[in-house]
Amino acid sequence: MTSNATRRILEERLAAEIGRIEKNAPVRVGLLYPSPYSVGMSSLGYQRVYRLIQDARGLAAERVFLADGADSPGVPLTERPVTYEGRRELSDLPVLAVSMAYEIEIAGLIKMLDASGIPPLARERDARHPFILSGGPLTFSNPLPLAPFADAIVIGEGEELVIPALRIVTESSSRAAALDALARLPGLFVPSLHGDRLPPVAKADDALLPAHSAIRTPYTELSNMFLIEAERGCSRGCTYCVMRRSTNGGMRIVPKEVLLERIPPDARRVGLVGAAVSDHPKIVEIVRTLAERGAEVGLSSLRPERLKEELVAALRLAGYRTLTTALDGASERLRDLIERRGREPHYEAAAERARRHGMERLKLYLMIGLPGETDADIDECVRFIGELSRIIPVALGISPFCAKRNTPLDRMPYAGVGVIQDRLERLRRGLRGRADVRATSARWAWVEYVLSQGGTAEGEAVLGAVRAGGRYADYRRAFRELGHTPDGRGYAGTEMPLALERMRRRLQLTT
């Protein structure tokens, strides 16, 4: 039973949406995002799949999200999830298409399935239950922890795979027949048939670019913003990043003319999305053109060495009050190790330009806990951020480093919860009164790390942790049974790939 409060929330959000596609079709697909509405509707990939389904003959999408607040640790899901379009429960739908952005969202999927009376584990479901087809950014790195819960997983870019896969699922004579047919489709991973053997990451035809918003709404992280890809992929080789130049051919640029013609004339806020948007050769012209139309513009990624005078001026014209870029490593030595091009003079120049153009602050993203990091690296960061704060107010957003599969830093151990907390306190002490320092949890970053490096056993451990309450202590107990400890020794003794050995040698030469 859906509560009156939930019904009111759904009605308010639907009434505020611009661009929703009304459609009736014989097959209703539950388009599930395992985080709250505000997060899911800010996902360009989720919106892309919504449009694909709504454009497909015989299919219609019904969106469903995790309840507000239920993504917080220890918060249970107290109502059965229902779809926005038809108020249907998940168990009433033949197929659930799940968009999975990152590892910890697996907990949200488990909560939604449990609350709906659907067995989360694929091996416990049968023809009475919805078929679960998953995909999303998580699949570029390591989908194995998701494998126990999905019947099939689209690996990589799904534009050319989602509809054929849904047709197979909804038109096959049985679940077994659907699994057999999907397993023969390139880019489809069927855990029950493939085991741990993953197919290559799928690449969509460039003619299908750019993806862009189908629906705009004020009830999102990016309120009423029209999202559109300026490019896809990246030409750089940052050693920690899944979307580096070796993934799907590197950077694929959307021509300026194509980009501008796809943006609705009434869009007052435009978000240019991509892993390296500021590397677009026409980015200054694009931002200026949109600003002259009266649009506020946001870019998902700004590289420090690209923050030249013309770009900073264009960003200010387009409504920027805070200039945001990535510092990444705490020191020049660490930035060199992870192959980041940003150097101190780039950040100093960006700070000067931001101040000159009337911006209020410089925001920098930083990773701590990188391989080989020492207190000396943290002290260098304190010194440098202190210098920048004399130019313009500085905000520092900090995340612990979590090694991802399909990167050169794959299998690097987690620095340890205690180490991360000590270094964070060292930063805070050194920058007290000089910079605003905010950090994500070292404990939950360890949970993310275990899943990013783990397999199906780690995925099933999430089920136990969620059902035990979903608090950090529940994850710690569940992972301890698999040999993982938050001091970072869970992968001690793991054989390191050749690329990491080369990096270790480089690190020894620079210390």
Sketch out the chain's domains with CATH numbers: 4-194 (3.40.50.280), 323-331+363-511 (no CATH)
Q: For residue 191, what are the CA distances in angstroms to 102, 149, 163, 167, 198?
A: 19, 9, 20, 19, 9
Q: Compute the Cα dihedral for 95, 40, 257, 244 and give only its sign.
A: negative
pLDDT at 301: 86
Q: For residue 483, what are the CA distances in angstroms to 278, 358, 479, 480, 486?
A: 42, 52, 7, 5, 10
Q: Which helix (H) or strand (E) holds 242?
A: none
Considering only CA atoms, which of 271, 256, 384 is closest in space to residue 328?
A: 384
pLDDT at 502: 55
Cβ 454 vs Cβ 462: under 8 Å: no
What residues contact 97, with CB distance under 8 A and at least 6 apart?
29, 30, 31, 32, 49, 53, 61, 133, 134, 135, 162, 166
φ, ψ at 60 (rounded to 5°): -140, 140
Considering only CA atoms, which of 305, 381, 379, 310 is closest in space to residue 343?
A: 305
Q: For residue 393, what are the CA distances in angstroms to 62, 84, 275, 318?
A: 45, 42, 26, 21
> Rounded distance, CA 421 to CA 442, Å?
7
> Rounded distance, CA 148 to CA 464, Å?
13
pLDDT at 493: 44
∠ Cα 313 235 197 (to 5°): 140
> Rounded distance, CA 286 to CA 276, Å?
15
Q: β-strand 394-400 against 436-439: which pairing, if any?
A: parallel
- In whole angstroms, what separates CA 118 from the centre of its chain? 26
Ranges of beta strands (E only) in 94-240 are: 95-99, 131-135, 152-154, 188-189, 226-229, 231-232
> Rounded distance, CA 452 to CA 404, Å?
6
Q: pTM score, two decimals? A: 0.94
> Rounded distance, CA 98 to CA 43, Å?
13
Roughly what angle, to the nearest 10 degrees, separates helices 162-171 and 175-183? Answer: 150
- Coil/strand/helix, residue 205: coil
For every residue of 249-297, DSSP letters joined together read TS-EEPPHHHHHHHS-TT-SEEEEESTTGGG-TTHHHHHHHHHHTT-EE
Q: How many residues does the chain have?
A: 511
What residues contact 117, with CB distance under 8 A and at least 6 apart?
80, 91
State the residue for tokens 């509707």. 41
Sequential pLDDT tens for the chain (511 residues): 689 999 999 999 999 999 999 999 999 999 999 999 999 999 999 999 999 999 999 999 999 999 999 999 999 999 999 999 999 999 999 999 999 999 999 999 999 999 999 999 999 999 999 999 999 999 999 999 999 999 999 999 999 999 999 999 999 999 999 999 999 999 999 999 999 999 999 999 999 999 999 999 999 988 999 999 999 999 899 999 999 888 888 999 999 999 999 999 999 999 999 999 999 999 999 999 999 999 999 999 899 999 999 999 999 999 999 999 999 999 999 999 899 888 999 999 999 999 999 999 999 999 999 998 999 999 999 999 999 999 999 999 999 999 999 999 998 999 999 999 999 999 999 999 999 999 999 999 999 999 999 999 999 999 999 999 999 999 999 999 999 999 854 334 444 444 555 555 555 544 4
H helices present in 357-416, as ranges: 375-389
Cβ 134 vs Cβ 46: under 8 Å: no
Q: Which helix (H) or strand (E) holds 444?
A: helix 442-453
pLDDT at 341: 84
Cβ 450 vs Cβ 490: under 8 Å: yes
- In whole angstroms, what separates CA 243 from the centre of its chain? 11
H helices present in 138-255, as ranges: 162-171, 175-183, 191-194
pLDDT at 397: 97
pLDDT at 504: 53
Count CA within 13 A, CB hemisphere, residue 303.
Answer: 19
Encoding tokens for residue 396? 């520092």
Considering only CA atoms, which of 180, 181, 177, 195 is closest in space to residue 127?
A: 177
> Rounded distance, CA 191 to CA 349, Å?
50
Q: For residue 405, what are the CA distances in angstroms to 139, 241, 497?
A: 10, 9, 12
